[in-house]
């Protein structure tokens, strides 16, 4: 927008600065998020059904909100310890031992962060030296590659395949390990594919990490949202892995607490201490109100999210069924709240397919290439959306593909 001359004279702007040239050079290699680009087209349009944003459509359960309000009512408005409230860290330690079967001391092996997002950034910045290679499986959460680059690492993607249920196969991982590889990042269940890894795959990955002395950053933010198997298996629970794994988890997804911005990292003390250094100077501590809410979430546990999980399960079955009925191959994801149908047979790029769907039927879904090159030919549909909207969206998609 052109600046008014009154503004210019008030601020004595003589010649505009080239601010781009001032930016850190590694930032220039990072593209804008494909999700953001796409959703800027949708903002402000209330005629659109969105299967786009990876956020629960439920409000945070009442007891959790009430705990936040009670904390404020008690006047708890201060900083906490840099690591987070000890009471919450101890609760997390109990929860993680019960749920993931891995023991961590609340005193010095748990760090409370501003979402898993911050924990991920801290883990990378604590470990990566310039030029270290960080391997991750793709299609993946949009922040992985940029976070690696922002910590001056080299991002190495391993493509996963629909035929393997988008799990990371140990052979594929072995093929990219070099003498510069330092970290393997895992995310099961996966955003955007909903993939879960089998015990066999995790054991194969663990074996390689031990053989090559690698650290694992395991983002298990969707671990409660699994629909087919009884128990979630964390790689940290496998023999020899606790000592080399940073386990990341948080409250955004199962407990529908995205706005509270709360997550945590569990790891051996040396790693937590290193992450804490960055956290204490950059963030200080996670917000105390959110920590009080999180304490209530873990106290209520499964009872607080079970009904949401049942809805997601029904919606997953509905979407996978409808896609396959209309002749679009859609693997049945074991977890999270996304389906990732294969739309390659229509001969359009995933961006063109998604744009066409938006323009002709007012349904927004994210083009698969937003999650890395190997996502091309797919579409991410998030089913954290009410059933009525999902039904209309599927009717619309059926009409749309009829025109292709």
In whole angstroms, the minimum distance from the beta carbon of 394 to ligand PLP comes to: 23
To the nearest 10 degrees (0 to 180), the angle between helices 115-127 and 269-282 is 110
Site string for ligand PLP, 4-43 (x = CB under 6 A): ----------------------------------------
Of 92, 155, 221, 304, which lies in the binding site for ligand PLP, with binding defined by CB under 6 A?
Answer: 221
Q: Which residue lies nearer to ligand PLP by CB, 255 or 400?
A: 255
DSSP string of 295-308, one letter each residue: HHHHHHTHHHHHHH
Q: Does 250 interact with ligand PLP (rule: CB under 6 A)?
A: yes
Rounded-to-integer distance, Cα 329 and Cα 350, Å: 15
User: Residue 205's closest CA among 234, 180, 232, 231?
Assistant: 234
118: burial class by Cβ within 10 Å (0-12, 13-18, 19+)?
buried
Among 38, 99, 100, 141, binds ligand PLP (CB under 6 A): 141
Under the binding rule (CB under 6 A), the answer on residue 196 touching ligand PLP is no
Q: Near ligand PLP by CB under 6 A, which window of 64-72, 115-123, 323-331, 354-362?
A: 115-123
Q: Residue for token digits 């983002």?
A: 219
From start to end of 125-222, where are the E strands?
133-138, 154-159, 181-186, 215-219
**Sheet containing 245-250: order of strands:** 110-113, 263-266, 245-250, 215-219, 181-186, 133-138, 154-159
User: How far apart are the C-alpha atoms of 336 and 67, rounded to whole Å?
Assistant: 26
Pick from 34, 115, 333, 334 the residue near ligand PLP by CB under 6 A: 115
In the complex with ligand PLP, the residue whose CB is nearer, 253 or 322, is 253
Residue from 299, 263, 311 nearest 56 by CA: 311
Cβ nearer to ligand PLP, comparing 141 with 323:
141
CA distance 377 to 360: 19
Choices 19-27, 250-258, 297-305, 390-398 (CB under 6 A): range interacting with ligand PLP: 250-258
Q: Which of 90, 172, 198, 258 binds ligand PLP (CB under 6 A)?
A: 258
Which stretch, 92-100, 109-117, 224-232, 300-308, contacts ligand PLP (CB under 6 A)? 109-117
Instruction: Indicate which single residue of 218, 223, 252, 290 sits in contact with ligand PLP (rule: CB under 6 A).
Output: 252
Q: How far apart are CA 247 and CA 198, in angstroms?
A: 18
- Residues that bind ligand PLP (rule: CB under 6 A) add up to a total of 13
Site for ligand PLP in 333-372 (CB under 6 A): none
Q: Which residues ranging from 74 to 93 are in contact with ligand PLP (CB under 6 A)?
A: none
Task: Tell which residue, 256, 272, 273, has the closest CA to residue 264.
Answer: 272
CA distance 321 to 327: 10
**Sole binder of ligand PLP in the list 151, 160, 191, 374 (CB under 6 A):** 191
Q: Does 263 bind ligand PLP (CB under 6 A)?
A: yes
In 29-132, beta strands by DSSP E: 49-50, 110-113
Per-residue contact flags (x/-) with ligand PLP for residues 171 to 190, judged by CB under 6 A: ----------------x---
**Residues in the site for ligand PLP, rule: CB under 6 A?**
54, 115-117, 141, 187, 191, 219, 221, 250, 252, 258, 263
């Amino acid at each position: 927008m052109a600046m008014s001359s009154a503004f210019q004279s008030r601020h004595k702007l003589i010649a505009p600065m080239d601010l781009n040239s001032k930016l850190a050079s590694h930032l220039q290699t990072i593209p804008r998020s494909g999700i953001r680009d796409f959703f800027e087209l949708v903002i402000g349009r209330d005629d659109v059904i969105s299967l786009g944003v990876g956020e629960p459509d439920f409000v945070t359960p009442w007891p959790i909100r009430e705990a936040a309000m009670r904390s404020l009512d008690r006047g708890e408005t201060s900083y906490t310890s840099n690591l987070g409230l000890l009471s919450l860290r101890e609760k997390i330690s109990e929860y993680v031992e019960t749920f993931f079967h891995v023991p961590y001391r609340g005193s010095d092996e748990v760090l409370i962060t501003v979402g898993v997002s911050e924990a991920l950034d801290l883990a990378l910045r604590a470990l990566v030296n310039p030029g270290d290679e960080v391997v991750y499986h793709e299609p993946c959460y949009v922040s992985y590659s940029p976070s690696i680059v922002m910590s001056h690492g080299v991002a190495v993607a391993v493509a996963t395949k629909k035929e393997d249920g988008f799990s990371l196969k140990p052979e594929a991982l072995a093929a990219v390990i070099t003498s510069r590889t330092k970290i393997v990042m895992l995310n099961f269940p996966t955003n955007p594919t909903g993939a879960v890894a089998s015990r066999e795959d995790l054991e194969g990955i663990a074996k390689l990490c031990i053989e090559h002395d690698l650290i694992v950053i395991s983002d298990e933010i969707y671990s409660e949202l699994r629909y087919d198997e009884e128990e979630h298996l964390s790689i940290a629970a496998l023999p020899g892995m606790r000592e080399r794994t940073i386990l990341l988890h948080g409250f955004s997804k199962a407990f529908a607490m995205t706005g509270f911005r709360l997550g945590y990292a569990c790891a051996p003390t040396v790693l937590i201490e290193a992450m804490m250094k960055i956290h204490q100077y950059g963030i200080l501590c996670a917000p105390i109100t959110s920590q009080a809410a999180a304490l209530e979430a873990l106290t209520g546990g499964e009872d607080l999210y079970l009904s949401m999980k049942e809805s997601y399960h029904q919606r997953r079955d509905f979407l996978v069924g409808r896609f396959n009925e209309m002749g679009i191959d859609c693997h049945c994801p074991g977890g999270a709240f996304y389906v990732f149908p294969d739309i390659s047979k229509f001969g359009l790029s995933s961006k063109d397919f998604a744009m066409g769907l938006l323009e002709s039927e007012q349904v927004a879904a994210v083009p698969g290439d937003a999650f890395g090159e190997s996502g091309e030919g797919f579409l991410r549909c998030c089913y954290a959306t009410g059933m009525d909207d999902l039904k209309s969206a599927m009717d619309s998609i059926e009409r749309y593909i009829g025109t292709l």
